[in-house]
Amino acid sequence: MGHRLQHHGAPLGLGVVGGMLAATLLWWVRPVSGVRPAPAASSAWPVVQIVRRADPSVVAVLNEQRRGGVLATRGLGSGVVVNGQGDIVTNYHVVAGASAVVVVAAGHPYRARVVGVDPATDLAVLQIPDHHLPYLPLANSSRVQPGELVVAIGQALGLSHSVTAGIVSAPDRTLYRDGWTYHLIQTDAAINPGNSGGPLVNQQDQVVGINSSKIARTGVEGIGFSIPSDTVRYVLQEILRYGQVRRPWVGIQVANPARSGAGLLVVEVYPGSPAAHAGIQPGDFLLRMAGHPVKSVREVVSVLEHVAIGSAVPLVLGRGSETLSVTIKLAVRPKANAPAL
């Protein structure tokens, strides 16, 4: 794509130095009286009202890792309470690699339980003991329009409850990172290290997206991305019900062949997988899936995004000089060490 898509969960290497982090943690737990001025009685600027209502639902998320026998905070991000049960949504990359996760809500630190994560959408769900936190409902992101006013709230550079405002620049951008496909909302509200996992809020006090990344490139400003609330809702429901997001699985590893136009070379077939049951073999070429020609992993993933687990999917294979047609019944992708396909 030519751009560097940078996640912003703010590990220390992304600009939060130890001194700032320590000072910020004290700020989260024991706010200094008199620093925040009393809110004005009213304001014509809608952002003031949005923040006043939304801010209590935004939390800090600390990624603690054990190194040399010592548990220390190695990164920080944001999160938001999204329902009356107290479920908190943040980014997967905010909690990735954590030995423990701490959530700071309403000035109080809590040891959080990671209910589930989904690297494919960069989302994670957390729970803490206090279930009486105010929450922000999830919007219907399919109705988001370019030009809508939106507000981002989070721990930008470790500065607690920082607020930036902007508009929806585009409601659906497709980006690719680390082999995953992301459908994202583009915004010009500033997204900085520490904002990851925080909400992008509309004028109806609804979460339209979970802030996740921006394009980090010299001369580029105001191109940030949020995970759409419709995606968040689906992932949340799947994790709460199954502990993971169930996705259809073929059970093959593929590579692009040396010659163009030959489809995808099957380099490995996983034992017990749908592909193995269908008789697919290493060395076969995957030419078509569900009637669509496939010449890249992205094209295969695009097909799988639109078929249900348990569906019977026709494949066309090349094997030597023969063309074969087989049908596979898609299974649930295993949670551990399973290929994307």
* SS3 state at 101: strand
Tokens read off for 150? 């939106």
Across the range 24-51, mean pLDDT stands at: 60
Contact in structure between 214 and 8 (CB atoms under 8 Å): yes
Which of these, 148, 151, 213, lies nearest to 183 by C-alpha position?
213
| pLDDT of the residue at 200 | 97
What's the CATH number for 5-242? 2.40.10.120
Residues of the chain with CATH 2.40.10.120: 5-242
| pLDDT of the residue at 15 | 31
| pLDDT of the residue at 23 | 38
| pLDDT of the residue at 34 | 43
pLDDT greater than 70 at residue 88: yes
pLDDT in tens, 234-255: 999 999 999 999 989 999 999 8
| pLDDT of the residue at 69 | 84
> Which of 129-143, 176-190, 269-283 has the least mean pLDDT?
176-190
| pLDDT of the residue at 301 | 83
Sign of CA dihedral 333, 87, 29, 70: negative
Which residues are annotated as catalytic? 93, 122, 196
Tokens read off for 189? 């509200």
Angstrom distances, CA of residue 90 to CA of 208, 225, 292: 14, 14, 35
Residues of the chain with CATH 2.30.42.10: 248-332
d(CA 210, CA 224): 11
> Which of 10-19, 118-127, 242-251 has the least mean pLDDT?
10-19
| pLDDT of the residue at 302 | 81
> Which of 224-228, 280-284, 304-308 has the least mean pLDDT?
304-308
Tokens read off for 278? 């269908």
Residue 335 or 318, more confident = 318
Angstrom distances, CA of residue 190 to CA of 88, 162, 211, 222: 22, 10, 10, 6
Across the range 296-306, mean pLDDT stands at: 84
| pLDDT of the residue at 4 | 46
pLDDT band at residue 162 under the 50/70/90 scheme: very high
Across the range 170-190, mean pLDDT stands at: 84
- Helix H or strand E segment including 297: helix 297-304
pLDDT in tens, 30-39: 444 444 555 5
| pLDDT of the residue at 28 | 44
pTM of the entire structure? 0.78
In the chain, the largest separation of any two C-alpha atoms, in whole Å, equals 79
pLDDT band at residue 85 under the 50/70/90 scheme: very high
| pLDDT of the residue at 8 | 55
What's the CATH number for 248-332? 2.30.42.10
d(CA 290, CA 302): 11
Cβ neighbours, 10 Å, residue 88:
28
Contact in structure between 211 and 77 (CB atoms under 8 Å): no
Cβ neighbours, 10 Å, residue 14:
18
pLDDT in tens, 56-65: 999 999 999 9
Residue 203 or 67, more confident = 203
Across the range 300-316, mean pLDDT stands at: 89
| pLDDT of the residue at 63 | 96
| pLDDT of the residue at 340 | 63
Tokens read off for 92? 């997967």
Q: What single string gives the DSSP state of each residue in 302-335? A: HHHTTS-TT-EEEEEEEETTEEEEEEEE-EEPPS
pLDDT band at residue 298 under the 50/70/90 scheme: confident
Q: List the Cα angle 164/222/203 in 5-degree steps.
A: 40
pLDDT in tens, 278-293: 999 999 999 999 999 9
Q: Which residues neighbour 313 within 8 Å (Cβ) at sequence distance 6 or greater? A: 289, 290, 303, 307, 327, 328, 329, 330
pLDDT greater than 80 at residue 25: no
Tokens read off for 206? 């609804």
Q: What separation, in Å, do the N-terminal and C-terminal C-alpha atoms of the chain show?
A: 22
β-pair partners for 173: 184
| pLDDT of the residue at 178 | 61
Residue 36 or 122, more confident = 122
Chain-wide mean pLDDT for the chain?
A: 84
